Structure formats: structure tokens, C-alpha cells
Amino acid sequence: MFEQLESVCLRYEDIAQELASGQATNDIKRYTALMKEQSELTPLIEAYQQYKQAGQDTEDALAMLENESDEEMRELAKEELQDAKARTEELTEKLKILLLPKDPNDDKNVIIEIRAGAGGDEAALFAAEIYRMYVHYADARRWKTSVVDFEEIGIGGMKYITFMIEGSGAYSRLKYESGVHRVQRVPETESGGRIHTSTITVAVMPEVTEDIDIDIPAEDVRMDITRASGDGGQGVNTTDSAVRLTHIPTGIVIYSQTERSQLQNKAKAWALLRSKLYDLEMQKRHDAEADLRRSQVGTGDRSEKIRTYNFPQSRVTDHRIKLTLYNLSEVMNGDLDEIIDHLTTADQEAKLLKMQE
């Protein structure tokens, strides 16, 4: 671990020297990449410096104990030694986590697809509520949300909705949300007062950017331009602006109609198609690397039941990490950080165990 840390320190120094020389500013792309790398390495460098300081404090306290005869000073040295050892242990674990291979998609924007599953209208109503939950979460972090496509039902529910969340680290926070979400409650449409169980599925995909090499031959995609349907407002459904892409090899169909401009709808549709094909490739890799899948917390299997929202008991249970909270109303209003923090920690611990095998 320490050889790796020293190597990182050398790299950090090289970056600092290159940035200070001013030569990097001649190539804006390289300058941006260096700034990004420096920013990513800074927490690790700072933690390592704190670790080395804790080690020095330990040596100083031991030296004081060895050379000091005054009992009061010896007690002070013992306290400092205990504190330094505790910090060393804490920082050792922190460094192990910071040295874990970084998910290259963590900083990316995300495309989220929510679909009503078992439960009819109640599932569609819950899908709409989960969509609003993620919008509230994004708003709290000052991330931008935009809808790609959706289909509503008459009572305010959604058969499906696809939307994008743009913000730094969006994928790192939301990647654990993929899977089956289950709701238990008395439906608004149920007069008998019986508790029903319904499900929806959530798929979280990183937006495909320039650093991801994904080739989509033009002959593999058929594009149709149609007139937008539904409640367009502001003239959205008065022109041929809706775009439908059909990826012939996989049968994936993408439809975008939420923007007034055909060009904007086309851009959204292509972004979603690229993300879907990349997501498909990631799924294949997860299936092929069974050991890796076991070391991750629910970022691969879309058929996995990951969470239950029990309204009568105001209970939220994440089944992957056996976490139960009794703050359902807060969660539905977008307060997801406690759940996501626990999932992140569990994922890091699983990866650490995997590395030690």
C-alpha cells in the first residue's frame, strides 16, 4: 500500500510542477485533464500527509515516555500516544478506501428510466412518486433534471419515464438505485382498505461521453421523425419534432418528444441510445465476472428487489444491506443521503474484502 502511496505522491508532484510551469495552458484539453487529476488525488495526498503526521506524533510520544521522569508529563505522553495510534488506525482504513480503483463513470451525468411493474394503476402512481423523489434529491444538490420521454395515465401516474440528471458525481450517488422497488400501502383506488404490494423498476445509466468508446454504425439505426403526441403546450405538438430511433441489432427503441426542437429531441434520443447500449455492455461484463458482481452492492442486476417502502409503518428497508429506517416521508421527499451513504460504505467494504482474498 505504501509503495502505491509514494507513487501517487510522485505523480501529484509531477502534476503540480507541470501546472506551475505554465506550459500546460498551451493545450487546454491537457490542462483540464491535469486539473481534474490533481483534484481527484488531493484527498488521498491530504490523508497520507495526516497519516505520516500521526506516525511522527507516535514516535514523539514514545520518545517522551522513554526520556521523561515527571509523572504528569508521562501521563500527557500516554494520552498523546493513544490519540496518535487511534488516528493512525483510522487513517489507514481511510487510505485503503481512497486507494480502491475508482469507477470511471462516477463523475458522469445519469439517465434514469423508471417503469411501472406489477400492480396496475397503483404501480404507475408509485412510479410517478419515485420520479419526484429523485427530482427532489437532484434539486437539493443543485443538479439539473430534464425529461426525455414519458407516458402518463389519467390519475397522475406514469407507465414509464426516462429523464436525465446532470451534476458532478451524479452517477456515484445514484448508481445503487438500479433494481426493483416495492411499495406496500393501501392504494388510493382501493375502497376496502387492504394493503397492496406493487413494484416498479429503476435503471440508472451513466451518460456516454467522449471518453467512452462506443461504435454505433449508421446502418444499425433507423430514425423516424413524427409529430409529438400528448399535452405538448407551447406548440410542442404542432410540428414534426418528435424523434424515434430504432437500434436494429438489439431492437431497442428510443422516443424523444419533450422538446420543441427536432434537433434537441434528436440529441436526447441519441444520448439515451448510447447510454442504453453502453449499459447493455456493462450488464454483460457483470454477468461474465461473477466474482466482481458478488463484491458490489446492487449495481448490476435489474431484476433484484432492492428496497421496500412500507407506508403503514413509515418504513423503508434496503434489502441488500439490511438497512431499515422509519423516515419514509423524508425519503419520498428526496432525503436519500443516509441510504446512499450506507450503500457506498457497504460497497467499499465488500471491495476491500475482495482485494484481501
Q: Domains in the chain, please, with CATH?
A: 2-98 (1.20.58), 110-211+290-354 (3.30.70.1660), 218-284 (3.30.160.20)
Q: 274-285: b or e for each residue (b if 16 or more CB lie within 10 Å)? A: bbbbbbeeeeee
Measured distance CA(110)–CA(264) in Å, rounded? 18
pLDDT digit string, tens, across residues 292-315:
445 455 544 556 799 999 999 999
pLDDT digit string, tens, across residues 79-118:
999 999 999 999 988 898 888 888 888 989 999 999 999 8
pTM above 0.85, yes or no: no
pLDDT digit string, tens, across residues 1-51:
788 888 889 998 999 988 888 777 788 888 888 888 898 899 999 999 999
How high is the pLDDT of residue 232? 45
Model confidence at 191, pLDDT cuts 50, 70, 90, reads low
- As a whole number, mean pLDDT of residues 204-221 equals 84
Which parts of 227-310 are beta strand (E)? 242-247, 252-256, 305-310
Quote the longest CA-to-CA distance of the chain.
90
Pick from 50-54, 64-68, 119-123 the range whose average pLDDT is largest: 50-54
- 7, with CB counted inside 10 A (0-12, 13-18, 19+), is exposed
Considering the chain, what percentage of its residues have pLDDT values greater than 70?
A: 90
Task: Decide if pLDDT at 194 tops 80.
Answer: yes
Task: Decide if pLDDT at 271 tops 70.
Answer: yes
How high is the pLDDT of residue 300? 46
CA neighbor of 106 nearest in space, from 211, 215, 1: 211
How high is the pLDDT of residue 335? 96
Pick from 46-60, 180-194, 281-295 the range whose average pLDDT is largest: 46-60
- As a whole number, mean pLDDT of residues 163-185 equals 94
- As a whole number, mean pLDDT of residues 156-167 equals 93
Quick check: 275 and 208 in contact, CB under 8 A? yes
pLDDT digit string, tens, across residues 240-257:
788 889 999 999 998 888
Model confidence at 54, pLDDT cuts 50, 70, 90, reads very high
Measured distance CA(138)–CA(122) in Å, rounded? 25
How high is the pLDDT of residue 27? 81
Q: Report, in angstroms and rounded to the nearest whole number, the Rg of the chain calculated over CA atoms.
A: 26
C-alpha cell at 272: 439515451
How high is the pLDDT of residue 289? 56
Q: What is the mean pLDDT of the chain?
A: 86
- As a whole number, mean pLDDT of residues 217-240 equals 68
- As a whole number, mean pLDDT of residues 162-181 equals 94
